[in-house]
Amino acid sequence: MAQGRKPVVRKIHEPSAQSEVELAQAEEAVRLLLRFVGEDPEREGLLRTPTRVAKAYEFLTSGYRQDPKDAINGALFVQENYQEIILCKDLDFYSLCEHHLLPFMGKAHVAYLPNKRIVGISKLARMVEIYCRRLQVQERLTTQIATTIMDEIQPLGVAVVLEAEHMCMRMRGVEKQNSWVTTSAMLGVFRTNHETRQEFMNLLRNGR
């Protein structure tokens, strides 16, 4: 995807006249890749592999056909009396690195400080999933989650931390088997108020 170009967002069930053509093209691309690595895509064990791979990638990138804002719409509730940090931690996530198309996976921790409005907590997990199911870099993924929550819920602040292991570092390149990458995005009072940020970090460190 070109730098700065926004992904085309379509509903996941929206029919596309190009879908069958695109699937056939994707399958042929997989056959070409199999030949490139020295395999025979016509041998018995690989006959169905192009279709399986194409459908797998269609699922793993289904976030392009979903709008993360839909995960919040209709799930906002007015709650004037609750003004403490809401934290949803240890959300398992899986995504694909856009540089090598290899997986990276880990835990997402998402918190916000409400400003009269709260959102159903399952919607936070759903939004994380939608952004993960796109070709990503961890830094952008972290920022996208935080920015969308800030824009749609309009809380006093948002904090997002992602901890992930990257197969592009473990399987190839530097091959560092025990490496983890941590990224964070702090918006609103989580950026400007040290005590609020510290409270969030304490919540992360404490047990469930």
Q: Which helix (H) or strand (E) holds 85?
A: none
Residue 5 lies in a domain: no
Both 103 and 199 in a single domain? Answer: yes
In total, how many domains does the chain have? 2
Distances, alpha carbon 49 to alpha carbons 54, 55, 62, 178, in Å: 8, 10, 20, 31
What's the confidence (pLDDT) of residue 208?
A: 60
Round to whole Å and give the CA distance between 207 and 205.
7
What's the confidence (pLDDT) of residue 194?
A: 96
Residue 13 lies in a domain: no
Residue 46 belongs to domain spanning: 19-60
Taking only the tens place, the pLDDT of each residue in 123-156 is 999 999 999 999 999 999 999 999 999 999 999 9
What's the confidence (pLDDT) of residue 171?
A: 80
Closest CA to 88 of 184, 161, 186: 161
Q: What percent of the chain has pLDDT over 70?
A: 89
Both 97 and 127 in a single domain? Answer: yes
What's the confidence (pLDDT) of residue 1?
A: 41
- The residue-averaged pLDDT of 88-104 equals 95
Predicted model pTM: 0.85
The one-character DSSP state at 205 is: H
* Statement: residue 185 has pLDDT above 90: yes
Round to whole Å and give the CA distance between 6 and 151.
17
* Statement: residue 165 has pLDDT above 50: yes
Give the CATH number for residue 28.
1.10.286.10
What's the confidence (pLDDT) of residue 176?
A: 72
The partner residues of 188 in beta bridges, in order of sequence, read 157
- The residue-averaged pLDDT of 47-75 equals 91
What's the confidence (pLDDT) of residue 9?
A: 46
143 φ, ψ (degrees, to nearest 5):
-70, -40
Give the CATH number for residue 84.
3.30.1130.10
Beta-carbon contacts of residue 97 (< 8 Å; ≥ 6 apart): 103, 104, 135, 136, 137, 166, 167, 168
| Residue at a domain's end among 44, 60, 76 | 60
Both 54 and 72 in a single domain? Answer: no
